[in-house]
Amino acid sequence: MEQTRQEPLMSAFVDLEAGVDRQEVLESSDEKIVNFIEDAKNEDDTSDALDAPPPGPSVPTPVLGQPETEERWTELLERAKMRGTRGPMVGERHGDVSIHDVPPEFWVLTVLAGWEDVVVFHIGRCAWPEHRIKAAFMMLLLEKQVWLEAEMLTMLKEWLKDIPGVCIHNQQPLLHSVSPQDGIGTPLVTKSYQPIVIGSWVRIRRGSFKGDTGVVTKVYPWGCKLLLVPRLDPSARNEKNRKQRRLDKLGPKLFDRGAIELDGTEKVKVLKQTEERYLWHGLVYKHDLLVCRFNFSQVELARDIPDILAGLFCQSCHPLVRRYRKHLPRISEWCLVVGDPVMDTSNGQIGLISSVGDERLEVECEEGLFPLAWAHCQKTFEVGQYMEITEGLVDRWAGWIDAIEDGLVHVVSDQIRTKDKVEMCEVHPNLLMVTTPPSSQLPAPDKGPRMYPSHQEDFLEGSSEDVNMSKNSHGRPGLHVLVHLAAYDPNAPFLVAWLDYLDVVDEESHLPLNKAWPLADNDNNLYHKYVPVTHILEEREPQSEPGNRTPLPDPSERCLSPSWDPSAPEPGSSTAVSSPTYWCTDSRLHGYKFWATYHGFNIVAAVREKILGEGRMSCFRDNTSACEELDPVAVLPIHPTARHYELFLVISGEHCGKWVRGIQFKKRSSQNRSDLEWTIAVVIPRAPYLQDNLTDERLVLHSSCMTLADESAQERKLNDSLKRLLRKPAQER
């Protein structure tokens, strides 16, 4: 007697990844199943965390609430409950469902990427009762996997290998049994519908690490593995008479193996030296970060991250953190609003914030709108602006920007908090906000006048050691000026010195600086004694006394600093000061490209005519698409050091405008590494794809007379043989 065909056991399937809108109730039919695959090939479903793609856009969150979905998943949980014993519960309680120590039998079927829904469709349509398949579904954002709740019989294996999209190896479907621990957490994973993938930044919702933020390094069916900044004291577990002592929560700090083993009382176990993996008090550390595992119900996607945690993650040098740094969430302390000028630190592009989102910013520039990741966003400021620190300091104190170096802004306080000290701090630009100084505060001065120190007589005779002071060497409060000192020796280095405002005399009038160049606000009130330490002075018309003028020294006998070379008035002329000229606006450098420092950033600049045909030169930024005119006062040359043997550009003296290449150098000072005397050869750059022409002219110049020239990687490669030829005689000595 022919056996009557029964209806398939699976009449529906649960698609957790795509949401309820793609769930369908599938009815059986006599329609033939098309073989979607001709030659199924074996694919390896194991992937390294570092080879995983970066996190993509957020997946729409499925909403459990449809009767079919709730009923289907409730059946799965009930079967897990009924299969359990009456032993102690080792899982978690979720509503009225308890997962006991015996989980259902779960199997992972490996399929081709993108064919997961096809396989589930086929199983839900064609499975028979004798196959004993109770459920077939896909896990959240786990590719190439179909989960089965079934008794894995030989008949079922033979049936699975004929399903389109199933990976076959040695004439058998690729199946992996699920461990009891993973099986316990599998039903609970449906309560967390978050797009958590490798590289996602998540926040811990409960437990000892509640509130901490970490990065996902591996995703399991039931949870994920995270990297965290250590902030618990694991040594507290060793205290006696406390069986389960709660760990003390300390401040965030990277794991330091050397500091722990310094006293010799404790030893850190090395798990894998090449990966910097260590075991200490039962916790695993990798690249100075703590490695922990959490269920999906314990984590959620992080919307922001504290600034201190973001900085510690970047200091850990973990390869995965370096890769996914650009996906960092918003720093909670940053103050960024629409209209703020920002810069993309990855390419130097500058624009204004158009909109602020949770994942990225929209920045408007001359070319249009472009997205900007939070990790690459940095606000731009100018030296001398009055700022307010929005986070980090309790009293939110304000002050002037003194300098911008290495991505940090140096701010001097506008208040005197102690009797003889002016406070300074270094903060991230995104923690600052431009504000208006109160009426009681004085405006920020500006720089400009030429001066020389009155108490350093030996400097005029050639000595330079007494005035080569660092920024923090002075101990007296009040206004200090940053002076570029010029020597009579044309090859002498340019010295930068911080001098007391009252110890400086104007070069032209020989009057004290506070009389020749008075600093005053709009009400002509002189600055009080405790003016913040700064290097910016406002240029005023000098006050001179009759008969107090002396002829200026011969300019040919002096070597003025390229960045501090204002043109001085002729003796006996009017007291009005002419507009200064700067090294980067010299007409002899017209059309040349070179490297320079501008507000703390290394850029490629070029000298061009401001208005075509008028002959007035200006300095423009060249390594961006926007034509940005630069403030010549803030453009500083990058002098060649001992590690530079590339193309140089002479920027001062009679050889200004010549292209040169280094042959050898001689150190003039053991303390100052930039005090170098170079022997150089004059070259003539040729057309692209050609080597430079070497001339017979040889020069001996100080490094302060040159700056690094702009040279592409291809041009450097073409001139490698020329560079070796020039250095060969010096290397053979």
> What confidence tens digit (pLDDT) does each residue in 532-543 have?
333 333 333 334
Least confident of 271-275, 595-599, 663-667: 271-275
- Check if the beta carbon of residue 26 is closer than 8 Å to that of residue 33: no
Q: Which element (helix H / strand E) includes 714?
A: helix 713-718
Least confident of 253-267, 332-346, 353-367: 253-267
Give the integer Cα–Cα distance in Å for 392 and 427: 9
Provide the sign of the torsion angle of the four alpha carbons 452, 456, 457, 463, taken in this order: negative
**37-70 pLDDT tens trace:** 233 233 333 334 444 444 443 333 333 334 454 5
Give the integer Cα–Cα distance in Å for 541 and 1: 117
Centre a 10 Å sphere on the Cβ of residue 550 and count the other Cβ atoms it contains.
Answer: 10
Give me 266's structure tokens.
Answer: 């404790």
**Within 13 Å, how many C-alpha atoms sit on residue 325's CB side?**
19
Taking Cα atoms as reference points, which of 9, 11, 13, 7 lies closest to residue 136? 13
Kindly indicate the confidence band of residue 362, based on its pLDDT and cuts at 50, 70 and 90.
confident
Give the integer Cα–Cα distance in Å for 107 and 152: 8
pLDDT of residue 482: 57
Average pLDDT in the 373-381 region? Answer: 82
Centre a 10 Å sphere on the Cβ of residue 289 and count the other Cβ atoms it contains.
Answer: 26
Read off φ and ψ for residue 381, nearest 5 degrees: -140, 175
Give the integer Cα–Cα distance in Å for 622 and 626: 8
Give the integer Cα–Cα distance in Å for 387 and 400: 6
**199-246 pLDDT tens trace:** 888 888 887 788 888 888 888 767 788 888 887 666 655 544 444 555
Give the integer Cα–Cα distance in Å for 411 and 267: 43
pLDDT of residue 666: 84
Task: Evaluate if residue 6 carries a pLDDT over 70.
Answer: no
Give the integer Cα–Cα distance in Å for 589 and 682: 16
- Check if the beta carbon of residue 688 is closer than 8 Å to that of residue 680: no
Please, what is the end-to-end C-alpha distance for the chain in angstroms?
105
More confidently predicted of 416 and 280? 280
Give me 528's structure tokens.
Answer: 């009080």
**Cα maximum dimension of the chain:** 133
More confidently predicted of 575 and 234? 234
- All residues at 6 or more sequence positions from 703 whose CB lies less than 8 Å from its CB, including other chains: 493, 639, 640, 641, 665, 674, 675, 676, 677, 678
- Check if the beta carbon of residue 95 is closer than 8 Å to that of residue 73: no
pLDDT of residue 713: 81
Place of tokens 């006293």: 263
More confidently predicted of 112 and 75? 112
- Check if the beta carbon of residue 532 is closer than 8 Å to that of residue 399: yes
Give the integer Cα–Cα distance in Å for 147 and 136: 6
Give the integer Cα–Cα distance in Å for 232 and 289: 12
**487-531 pLDDT tens trace:** 444 454 445 555 665 566 655 556 665 555 554 433 333 333 333
Percent over 70 (pLDDT), the chain: 54
* 299-301, strands of its sheet edge to edge: 269-272, 277-280, 283-286, 289-295, 223-228, 213-219, 201-204, 299-301
pLDDT of residue 403: 76
CA dist list (Å): 561 to 262, 298, 494, 679: 49, 62, 6, 20
pLDDT of residue 631: 82
Query: How does DSSP classify residue 527?
Result: P
Dihedral (Cα; 103, 104, 105, 109), 10-degree rounding: -110
Task: Evaluate if residue 605 carries a pLDDT over 70.
Answer: yes
Read off φ and ψ for residue 585, nearest 5 degrees: -115, 15
CA angle 79, 120, 122 (to 5 degrees): 115
Task: Evaluate if residue 671 carries a pLDDT over 50.
Answer: yes
CA angle 339, 343, 345 (to 5 degrees): 150
pLDDT of residue 549: 40
- All residues at 6 or more sequence positions from 513 whose CB lies less than 8 Å from its CB, including other chains: 449, 451, 481, 501, 502, 504, 505, 506
Bridge-based pairing of strands 368-373 and 360-365 is antiparallel
pLDDT of residue 660: 92
Give the type of residue at 660.
Answer: V
**Within 13 Å, how many C-alpha atoms sit on residue 165's CB side?**
21
- All residues at 6 or more sequence positions from 301 whose CB lies less than 8 Å from its CB, including other chains: 58, 194, 195, 196, 200, 201, 202, 203
SS3 (DSSP) at 298: helix
Task: Evaluate if residue 302 carries a pLDDT over 80.
Answer: yes
Percent over 90 (pLDDT), the chain: 1
Give the integer Cα–Cα distance in Å for 522 and 520: 7
pLDDT of residue 532: 35
Give the integer Cα–Cα distance in Å for 417 and 425: 14
Average pLDDT in the 347-373 region? Answer: 83
List, in sequence order, every residue forming a beta bridge with 617; answer none if it has no partner.
609
